[in-house]
Amino acid sequence: MKNKLIITITIIALIVIGILIFYNPFEKSNLENNTNNSKDKKDINFIELKKGSYNTITEKQERIVKSSAEWADLWTEMFPTEMIASAINFDERMVIAVFMGEKNTGGYSIMIDNIVEKDTYPGIGCAVIQVLTQPYYIVELPKSDKEIKFVYGRETSNCG
């Protein structure tokens, strides 16, 4: 009986210690902090122009395009044999393009989420093609002279 009581008290103590380690009731939760900080941020609406896994740019990079000439040059660099996809009013708009760089298999992708870049890597159990890929993502948004900061995140998508 005494051993069962000691085991029960030990289990309860471990649960309480675990709760205190992972949850501090005296600090605001991350959710609350993120909510408060989000009041200072303004979402910028953007239009997806093109994304994919194949183009001729093989180095990781970002491009900020603010003129028709820059847009034509970028498009020609990416797709030398294709006609340019769309006309953009660069008096009011600009283009942001992000490139993940060349990868040795399929399964990689890149996306812009709230004007924040987020890479996706193939995870455990994913069937991927064994070819070189060059993931990219291009969006159009209102023109701005403000500094643009690229923030990278990494997310793994597990399959199976």
Task: Quickly tell me which residue has 């900020």 as its tokens.
Answer: 64
Query: Above 70 in pLDDT, residue 17?
Result: no
- CB proximity list for 96: less than 8 A, separation 6 or greater: 46, 62, 63, 64, 65, 112, 115, 138, 139, 141, 148
Do 96 and 149 have their domain in common? Answer: yes
Do 99 and 147 have their domain in common? Answer: yes
Do 87 and 26 have their domain in common? Answer: no
The CA distance from 160 to 112, in Å, is 26
Do 18 and 75 have their domain in common? Answer: no
Do 11 and 56 have their domain in common? Answer: no
Q: For all residues of the chain together, what is the average pLDDT?
A: 77
More confident residue, 91 or 128: 91
Mean pLDDT of 48-57: 93
The CA distance from 58 to 25, in Å, is 48
Do 62 and 132 have their domain in common? Answer: yes
Residue among 104, 75, 87, 98 nearest 153 (CA):
98
The CA distance from 97 to 67, in Å, is 13
pLDDT tens digit sequence for 18-48: 554 444 444 433 333 333 344 445 677 889 9
Do 22 and 76 have their domain in common? Answer: no
More confident residue, 150 or 51: 51
Q: Which domain holds residue 14?
A: 2-38
pLDDT tens digit sequence for 109-146: 988 877 644 567 888 888 888 899 898 888 998 898 88
The CA distance from 23 to 92, in Å, is 47
Do 145 and 113 have their domain in common? Answer: yes
Number of domains comprising the chain: 2
Do 16 and 52 have their domain in common? Answer: no
Do 97 and 59 have their domain in common? Answer: yes
Q: CA torsion angle for 58, 144, 39, 116 (degrees, to 10)?
A: 0
Mean pLDDT of 71-90: 89
More confident residue, 85 or 137: 137
**pTM here?**
0.61
Binned at pLDDT 50, 70 and 90, residue 101 comes out as: very high
The CA distance from 71 to 95, in Å, is 8
The CA distance from 69 to 71, in Å, is 5
Do 34 and 70 have their domain in common? Answer: no
Do 60 and 113 have their domain in common? Answer: yes
